[in-house]
Chain A
Amino acid sequence: MSTEMNIPDAAARAAARPAAVEGFDTEKMSLSMGPSHPSTHGVLRLQMELDGEVLTKCDPVIGYLHRGDEKIAENMTYNQFVPYTDRLDYLAPLANNMAYAIAVERLAKLEVPARCQAIRVITAEMARISAHLLGLGAFGIDTGAWTVFMYAFTEREKLYTLFEELTGARFTTSYARIGGVARDVPEGWTQKVDAFCDQFLPILEEILALLTRNKIFMDRTVGVGVISREDAIAYGLTGPNLRGSGVPMDLRKDKPYSGYEQYDFDIPVGEHGDCYDRYLVRGEEMRQSVRIIKQAIAKFPSGPWYATDARKIFAPPKDKILSSMEELIQNFMIVTEGPQMPAGEVYFEAENPKGALGFFIVSKGGGVPYRLKIRAPSFCNLSILPKVCVGNLVSDVVSILGSLDFVMGECDR
């Protein structure tokens, strides 16, 4: 009783316990959490070694969702791989589509028109909101707040309706094409996005109010899973997890792509690097995303929505294909041979909701990549688990996993 009064925090109490008592040896227990566990957010398995309730070792076991996407990419043309990028970070397919398309366009040294860039920025930021809403909702469930998830999903539903109208699919959007997008935005769509943003901001404040000043949530997150600035950099963390540790790195600012330099937005950073900071950073990022979307819609450019000069990369318009022999042949060539790329190498990474999603493409010319490597942010973010979990309670591991907000579809790819 007295120790419980002196040290109210369970983890601190466990740590303050004498290491070994003469004649009272305890055995360590090994516990496997996952691959089918509600709080491992997918098929992640944690092989843990426990001393009492405190972790002494934590090994993430991954690969349960491995599909060999990188090898698949070597066997198909660049455009055919777009649906596979949907399935990397399946919570933000539009952002993946964009990152992949820009990577291939960098290889071809192709510039897409301003309208296409603006469409990509709007869709990527909508995808960021959608991914962070799910991240917050799932984090809420992990820490015992179910309502957040339901309210967040109501908003995601609205976003999905907008995605459906734009791309024809709610989840697997497959929207990008090399040199453009699959189709132009429908009439009145940008106004609908603008209206969504207006009604979303007060609802976002309401959702965040459920957690930000919630004592139960704060008890479970403040000071838990602290990642120091040095560790975050050393383990290659990116995205909100890195910014939560106080490193102001955001590729949208540092290496602007797709016209991000035109938009005015702030980078939220944490100070303590704990689970609570990572949560706060995600919440603030959604507000900034709304800012970016509103700016992009305010100066939404007209003009072509695909690279009209890329005759060997982007298929000609459909009415031309149906009426002119030359365009018909061009369409057949682009589909069967693939978009024609020069030989060379390119590495491009984009600031996705989970972190820096990179594509390294080696081309020997032609329409099929020789090698395509995907740098998945979730994979790198999970690499810190053995470091950050040790010394915490099992129940804190759930908080840490929720705050890291990873997707196994991307980690295992």
Chain B
Amino acid sequence: MNNVIIEAQNLNKSFGDFQAVENLNLKINRGEVFGFLGPNGAGKTTSINMMVGLLHPTSGQVFIDGNEVQQIEKGTIGICPQELVLWDYLTCRESLMLMGEMYEVPGDKLKIKVDKLLDGLFLTEKANTVVSQLSGGMKRRLNLALALVHEPEIVVLDEPSEGLDPQSRRVLWNYIRSLRDDDGKTVILTTHLMDEADRLSDRIAIIDHGKLLRLDTPSNLKKETGEGDVIEMKISNPEKNQEIISAVGKMEEVESVLEVDGQINIRALDAVSKLPMIMDELEHLRVRVVDLSVRQNTLEDVFIDLTGTGLRE
């Protein structure tokens, strides 16, 4: 069996003058959780929609298991959209049964599957409650269940934990992991939550302005941007930030220096041992440190490093 389940070749999509996706090439492996990371409006949803056949690309092709996406059997893919896509006047069970019937899941098998989903996503108690009376978290979980009722091989989750409380998020994350580990599904996850991408994904594609910037495992990505830790510091006179950045940047021991939200982020291996040296340099420049902390390098640093700090809409 071919290990690659989805392959996008030279995918382009433009809406008028706006190039939403530019020359996207990627391969997604069977049974992995593949994270799509990017700021708002980076082209994540557009890319996903093309990859599952909901949107025609302007040019390029998508192959699912070697077949063109438009030719594949319906039901290969299950999509959990970013918005809540539910029928307000149907109950949880009715919604799931409807989708199962639409995918032609045999009746007896469908009933078992629906019960299992309701149970797995903690919705059994609300099985016969109409959707309009569910809480936000329950609606999110039902939104996910609807994408899974026909047991698709590929599950696409578009920002699944948007607006969820930490408890619900935990339930969701565990469920996503079980999809991969227990059911062997391929999961495509789009998110702008670094934590989510980091914890769940086997590999991450970082996309911005419609272009694929990086594609690797979370640990490799973190390594690539700079191994080690991050020193975050605030100085009493921020107008000297640039002076410090250029001075510290010249130090051999330092991997990179960046200004983020008025504070200086210095990345260095074994940062704690480099701290005295950096402090010496600051003293030399006659600046006073107001706040200082040392933390581990995160995916967010990689992300900000690649996509910048400009606000996106």
User: A and B, one complex?
Assistant: no
Tell me the B residues contacting A by CB distance below 8 Å: none
Tell me the A residues contacting B by CB distance below 8 Å: none
